[in-house]
Amino acid sequence: MLFKSKPIYSSISKLNLDFKYFLNPKFTFQIKPISSLKVIWRKDQKLDRAIENDKRYKLCARVVKEVLNEPGQAIPLRYLEKRRERLRLNVKVKTFINNNPGLFETYYDCIRPKSDLVPFLRPSDRLRNFLEEEKRIYNENEEFIVSKLCKLLMMSRYKVISVDKLAHVKREFGFPNDFLVNLVPKYSNYFRLTGCPVEGRSFLELVEWNPEFAKSVIERRAEEESRLTGIRVRPNFDYKLPAGFFLRKEMREWVRDWLELDYTSPYEDVSHLDQASREMEKRMVGVLHELLSLSLFKRVPVSILGKFTEDYRFSNAFSSVFTRHSGIFYLSLKGGIKTAVLREAYKDDQLIEKDPLLEVKDKFVELLEEGWKERAALVRLRNEEVKKDMELMAIRNKDLDEESCDEEL
């Protein structure tokens, strides 16, 4: 059986590496210390635009979540106004509601018995219909969600992760709000809750190891290419530098040698590896690649990834890999938040392959766009009425001027 390593050599050619090192029999690999190699961060406008495109959607989702989490899914408008800073809402709540019609209904009620009536917000019928659609999508993709959750646990050091951490990242990976209450107990063959919930120290533990889940995106890609070509392909990273980006010679040499190292699956036991070794560096990149691949948008804020430093055996300086391996990742600074983006998942500012759970987002955007169109039509109608009123007023003023001229004559 022939052996093929296309991902490596295609990547090397894109980096314009010198092949004389491979042709020289006296050559031996000499990996320079990673700490001595620096890569200058470079802005990628297309990937930044991908984050900017979702800004309005995410803001609306945060406000909706805030209302839905309230008892009875209703909240006094003035209470929500006080939370504007936490919600990163840069306009008044009333303005936000007017700009995004169809999300909420306004009604009047008492905060306390015998108190004055004040405006309250509650989900609109449209929003409630969307929530039913959301449940349907989650139900249809239940097995897919379970596989994602298993993978997160299987990559972890002890096959167990804090419940608080998982609840904090549920939106990043597309888990439903109630996954710990409804989904986890349903799949007791895979999961077990341990610890003390009262003390806030609960953990989700993996019960059964599924070999089918223990294959990374990179390994599956290599298997598929091997099947199509009939030539065995080594699993490795797809290294693509953006247009106009280049690496210094010493860094190109380091990347070439680093790509030649064997790929270590993020699901493989690496307890025998030294934390400071180059093999551990490649394994860490593999874990980060897999985490981003499992995420909804193929991008995750670095601060969220940092919560799993101990679980996945990341080094304290793990965030530096996003600039050092700039052909694999992009570190966006959009909105003042460091976000790790998986380059291969995007073409310009669009995802190449969509996560099935992104249907939830698509349905929510449809709801928002329906409201925006209605508001635009209403604004247009008002503008037309104002224009007609101004024209009538101009005609009336002209008639008055003519009458006054006749009187003077």
* pLDDT at residue 404, rounded to an integer: 66
Q: How far apart are CA 187 and CA 144, in angstroms?
A: 13
* pLDDT at residue 394, rounded to an integer: 74
* Residue 356: DSSP 8-state: G
C-alpha to C-alpha distances, 66 to 32, 71, 85, 365, nearest whole angstrom: 50, 11, 13, 18
Sequence-ordered list of residues with C-beta below 8 angstroms from that of 82, at least 6 positions apart, any chain = none
Cα four-point dihedral sign 392, 395, 397, 399: negative
Q: Which fold has domain 55-132?
A: Arc Repressor Mutant, subunit A (1.10.10)
Q: How far apart are CA 310 and CA 98, in angstroms?
A: 45
Q: How far apart are CA 174 and CA 156, in angstroms?
A: 19
**Token pair recorded at residue 96:** 């936000």
Q: How far apart are CA 1 and CA 9, in angstroms?
A: 19
What are the tens digits of pLDDT across the range 150-176?
999 999 999 999 999 999 999 999 999
Contact 154, 128 (CB under 8 A): no
Residue found by looking up tokens 């998942």 in the block? 345
Q: How far apart are CA 22 and CA 253, in angstroms?
A: 12
* pLDDT at residue 6, rounded to an integer: 42
* pLDDT at residue 212, rounded to an integer: 94
Q: How far apart are CA 1 and CA 83, in angstroms?
A: 63
Cα four-point dihedral sign 209, 212, 216, 219: positive
State the pTM of this model: 0.83
Dmax over CA atoms of the chain, in Å, equals 112
Q: Edge-to-edge strand order for the sheet containing 191-196?
A: 160-162, 201-206, 191-196
State the alpha helices, DSSP H only, in 24-102.
Answer: 45-53, 55-68, 77-82, 84-87, 93-99
Query: How far from chain centre, in Å, is Cα 212?
Result: 25
Residues of the chain predicted below pLDDT 50: 1-35
Quick check: helix, strand or coil at residue 233? strand
* pLDDT at residue 39, rounded to an integer: 76
What are the tens digits of pLDDT across the range 87-132?
999 999 999 999 999 899 999 999 888 888 999 999 999 999 999 9
Q: How far apart are CA 364 and CA 174, in angstroms?
A: 14
Sequence-ordered list of residues with C-beta below 8 angstroms from that of 8, at least 6 positions apart, any chain = 234, 236, 259, 260
DSSP labels for 183-219?
A: IHHHTTTTEEEEEEGGGTEEEEEE----TTTS--HHH
Q: How far apart are CA 381 and CA 44, in angstroms?
A: 41
* pLDDT at residue 399, rounded to an integer: 63
Cα four-point dihedral sign 28, 32, 38, 43: positive
Of 215, 217, 234, the closest CA to residue 10 belongs to: 234
**Dihedral angle of Cα 344, 349, 350, 353, to the nearest 10 degrees:** 10
* pLDDT at residue 26, rounded to an integer: 38
Helix 249-260 / helix 278-294 crossing angle, nearest 10 deg: 80
pLDDT > 70: percent of the chain: 87
Of 281, 247, 249, the closest CA to residue 264 belongs to: 281
* pLDDT at residue 383, rounded to an integer: 80
End-to-end CA distance of the chain: 109
